[in-house]
Structure 1
Amino acid sequence: MPISTMKKTADERNDLWRDIFTALGLSTGAAVALGLSRFAYGLLLPPMQADLQWTYVEAGALNTANGAGYIFGALVAAWLARRWGTARAFLAGFSVSVLVLLLTAMTASLSALILLRTVGGVSTAITFILGAGLVSAICPLENPRRRGALVGVYVAGVSIGVILAGVALPIILQGGVQRWPEGWIVLGLLGAAGLPAAWLAARRVRQSAGGTMALLNARECRRIAPTLIGYGVFGAGYVGYMTFIMALLQEQGGSSEQIIWFWFTLGLLSAVTNLLWGRVLGAFSDGRGPALVFATAMLGTLPVLLYPGPVAMFLSAILFGGSFMAGPTSITIVAQRQLSPASWTAAISLLTVGFAFGQTIGPILAGAISDVTGSVEAGFWVSPLLLAIAACVNLLQRPPVPAESPALAGKSS
């Protein structure tokens, strides 16, 4: 093999590892934005509800408030990126998200907690969206499979956050339900520990010279409309599961040890399989990728409803945990395949707005049904129904026209 060829191969390998480590550093933002700030609430909900004597509607209201804040954050993320720079806005959102986690431990007032969850929704949306934009900019002209794998690495940070929360919070809560404030403090400290890695990674990413578009035009919106609608319905379905799964397992008689292992399994599977999903989804240019993810997540919600017990619990953790975090990966890849690099951040922002609208509806709807019926299981049926609808809607997403898609145009040239 010629020396020049060997040198080129070594350089490409070094570039790949540099890109992976950059995506890993940025993934700490994803861990804070969703793993620690949103999903860990599912672990803290039962003790907070017991200690503060909340109804299911009140418990769901906190996630609805978080979803409402997420909508606003998604709406302003692209504008902030254009005004401040993507890296600076990403790190600001990261820092505020950590601060909100710490402040949540300081009050038992429902109104104050709703306010904090709303602010946290704004900051975590900015963090997650702009982090995804930075990952997309690592190698915007590279092949789709590699780009999909890097997005998978980024989103896997959410799963790492889930695992860390699943390990730390049960240990704290062994001291009683009144120790939930300490859980929020630990989540905040875990988030703060990831900030240096995010800062170093964000500095290494070069943004395109044209910057980012603050808004998509009407033609671009129509191009990704099925993905936008389907992702919104997915948001409503998956967040209902993540909000009330712990309460459901407790109602079905699951032991503390079983529930801890359930959460750990769910987090571990989501981290490992999301890396695999990234490469699989990179092969799709239409809506089949998201539809496959959403359908798998729907199947994962059914075991605990149809056959309650330990086997069903862990089958649900495997199926749902092995698919739900591939949702953001799948729609990010659709946006990359359908639109030009300058539109990616704006597209991810718009898709996240739809997702956040769904997240505001899911918990409050499931909570209301559970309160009326007196059963968590009744409200939990909302999740598989919505996830099935989301999968069907995404099948309507058509492949991009080669002349209009940078990914396909580059592939055909």
Structure 2
Amino acid sequence: MTAVTSPSQGERAGVARQVLIALGLAGGPVVALGFTRFAYALLLPPMHQRLGWSYAQAGGMNTANAAGYILGAASAAYWARRLGDRAAFWWGLAVSALAIVATAASANFAALLAFRFAGGLTTAVTFVVGSALASRVAFGTRRPSALPIAVYMAGVGIGMVISGIVVPAALSAGDAGWRLGWLLMGAASVVALLPAWLGARHVPEPAGAQAAVLARRQLRRLAPTFAWYVLFGAGYVSYMTFAVALLRTQGLGSSATALFFIVLGVSSVVTTLAVWGHLAGRLRGGHAPALIAALVFAGVLPLLLMTPGTSSALLSAVVFGAGFMAGPTAATLIARRMLPPAGWTAGIALLTVAFSIGQAVGPLASGLLSDGDGGIARGLWLSAALLIVAAAAALFQREHAAS
């Protein structure tokens, strides 16, 4: 007798398949943000010390990365149209892995700037096109879910957990530890290529126009979200760049700062999957972005207002981690809801450009403030101020049907 599969069993099987595909795609954000962008916070203190940098130079490294990210996000729709989404996603990831390995090869400031710029460019292509692929994982099903997008974004936290374990171990090797840290993350990035390829090959290329040109009216409708994303990008990345350096100046050792980074990543993974994958899809207009910016703002405060120590650091990691990667989740969902399917890649790319502009300006401005009176804490107050303004800007976003 042939077994009859009930609809509920079929739906569960479909969801499981979507999760597996999204997990493969999550190799993109593991490398793009977890390694290339955020792990730099763990490597900044030893590179700052051993290479004789100022905090402005240290922040400039992330500004170079963000400048590349702007160019990559702006050109992502072009590469998707020219190569196809799957090829653009995978090749961007492959070149990103090479850029991470190359960062271990030189102590020259100009060369490192170039590698950070190149890594930013290719990871942006990977992240933007991967976001569009994740958006299409559940497309065409009876009830399209936000879960594949949340699983994809959880890759960032996974990358942070991996780097939080690998980098401190590498730094114990002594003066060359920062090089070993980049090298190990480069090796892990190469490993991520296989699941990323397997995930991408199960997402069909879109029918019709690959990356439609969006009408001005469609972009005007999203103006508050663009403003929020610039401010959010500047605020959150300043914290991500300098939080570990602040903890080190406050006397926390390498074990405590590594624990801080791991907790940050775990909090991001858990809340992205358990909370934001459902909540961000239900909140309409700019309510989800506003809530996210307010939560991330609250996560900065323990480092600035509480007595320095492990407790305040871990509280900050839990609260900040609970919200910071919900920003890209919310932005991707807004693009999916308010733009036609053919415009998703272009819409996500333009939103990511706005995000990247904030990420380029934030670390440099915070670094300049950190070099003055008040030290790194002064730079983090700028981060807090930008985040609360971002929350206010998001509230002006109204819901619009895709058209």
Q: Give the structure-2-normalised TM-score.
A: 0.96
The equivalent residue for 1:405 is 402
1:288 is aligned to 287
Q: Percent identity?
A: 45
Deviations 1:289-325 (A, max 9, x none): 1111111000000011001222211110110011101
Alpha-carbon distance, 1:214 to partner: 4.6
> What is aligned with 2:260?
262
Aligned partner of 1:357 in structure 2 is: 357
Alignment partners' CA distance in 1, 2:286 and 2:102:
40
Q: How far does the alpha carbon of each residue in 1:62-121 deviate from its partner, in whole angstroms, 9 at most, with x for none? A: 100000000000011011111110000001100000000000100000000101111111
Counterpart residue number, 1:135: 134
Describe the superposition over 1:15-55 as per-residue Cα deviations: whole angstroms up to 9, x where unpaired.
11111100000001110000011000000000111110100
Equivalent position of 2:92 in the other structure = 93
SS of 1:302's partner is helix
Specify the alignment match of 2:382 in structure 1: 382
Give the paired residue count.
Answer: 399
Q: For the residues of structure 1 that align with 2:23 and 2:254, how far apart are their CA atoms? A: 32
Q: C-alpha offsets along residues 315-345 of structure 1, whole Å, 9 cap, x if unaligned?
A: 1011001110111001111111111111111
Structure 2 unaligned regions, length at least 5: none
Query: Deviation string for 1:376-395 (max 9, x for gaps)?
Result: 11111111101111111011
Deviation at residue 207 of structure 1 after TM alignment: 2.5
The answer to whether 1:74 aligns with 2:76 is: no
Report the equivalent of 2:145: 147
User: What is the CA-CA distance between 1:150 and the residue it aligns to?
Assistant: 1.1
Residue of structure 2 equivalent to 1:409: none
Distance 1:206 1:255 in 2: 48
Alignment-derived partner of residue 334 in structure 2 = 334
Runs of 4+ in 1 over 6 A off after TM superposition: none
Distance 1:291 1:142 in 2: 29
Aligned residue identity for 2:392: C
State the secondary structure of the residue aligned to 1:254.
Answer: coil
Q: Is the contact between residue 78 and residue 215 of structure 1 (CA under 8 Å) also seen in structure 2?
A: no
Give the SS at the match of 1:357. helix
d(CA) in 2 for partners of 1:380 and 1:134?
A: 34
Hey, what's the Cα distance between the residues in 2 that align with 1:66 and 1:50?
20
Per the alignment, residue 202 of structure 2 pairs with 204
Choose the corresponding residue for 2:219, options 221, 225, 229. Answer: 221
Aligned to 1:84: 83
2:119 is equivalent to residue 120 of structure 1 = yes
CA-CA distance at 1:374 after TM superposition? 5.8
Cα distance in 1 for residues equivalent to 2:85 and 2:369: 41
2:212 and 2:342 in contact (8 A); partners too: no
Distance 2:375 2:305 in 1: 15
1:246-257 equivalences in 2 (<5 Å): 246-257=244-255
Deviation at 1:143, TM superposition (A): 6.5
Task: State the alpha-carbon separation in 2 of the partners of residues 175 and 381 from structure 1.
Answer: 34
CA distance in 1, matches of 2:378, 2:350: 32
Match of 1:410 in 2: none
Q: Is contact 1:269-1:318 (8 Å) kept?
A: yes
Alignment of 1:9-48 (within 5 A): 9-48=8-47
Residue 251 of structure 2 aligns to a residue whose secondary structure is: coil
Question: In the alignment, is the contact (CA less than 8 A) between 1:136 and 1:147 conserved in 2?
Answer: no
Q: Is the 8 A contact 2:86 2:205 kept in 1?
A: no
Give the structure 2 partner of residue 191 of structure 1.
189
The alpha carbon displacement at 1:371 in A equals 0.9
Counterpart Cα distance in 2 of 1:280 and 1:135:
18
Match for 2:161 among 160, 163, 173? Answer: 163
Q: Would the aligned equivalents of 1:274 and 1:325 in 2 still touch at CA under 8 Å?
A: yes
Contact in 1 for aligned 2:80/2:211 (Cα 8 Å): no
- Where does residue 411 of structure 1 map in the other structure? none
**Counterpart pick for 1:181 among 166, 172, 179:** 179
Which consecutive residues of structure 1, in runs of 5 or more, have no partner in the other structure? 407-413
Q: 1:241-273 CA deviation, whole Å, 9 max, x = no partner?
A: 000001100111112222121111111110111
Matching residue's letter, 1:377: A
Distance 2:142 2:109 in 1: 48
Residue-by-residue CA offset, 1:113-151 (whole Å, 9 max, x unaligned):
10111111100000000000001111224467x531111
Q: Report the secondary structure of 1:342's partner residue.
A: helix
Cα offsets for 1:388-407 (capped at 9, x unmatched): 1111101110011xxx437x
Query: SS in structure 2 opposite 1:191?
Result: helix
- Segment of structure 1 superposing worse, 263-272 or 210-219: 210-219
Structure 1 residue 166: deviation in Å? 0.1
Flag the 1:129–1:170 CA change in 2: closer, same or farther, 3 A.
same
Q: Secondary structure at the match of 1:147?
A: coil
Given that residues 148 and 279 in structure 1 are in contact (C-alpha distance below 8 angstroms), is that contact kept between their aligned partners in structure 2? yes
Deviations 1:202-257 (A, max 9, x none): 11101221233253220111111111110111000011000000110011111222
After superposition, residues 49-64 of structure 1 pair within 5 angstroms as 49-64=48-63
3-state SS in 2 of match to 1:140: coil
Cα pair 2:73 2:121 within 8 Å, conserved: yes
Q: Note the C-alpha offset of 1:9.
A: 2.9
Q: What residue in structure 2 maps to residue 368 of structure 1? A: 368
Distance in 1 (alpha carbons) for counterparts of 2:304 and 2:24: 38
Structure 2 letter corresponding to 1:194: A
Mean Cα deviation higher: 209-218 or 381-390: 209-218
- 8 Å contact kept, 2:290–2:391: yes
Residues 168, 255 of structure 2: 8 Å contact kept:
no
Q: CA deviation at 1:13?
A: 1.9
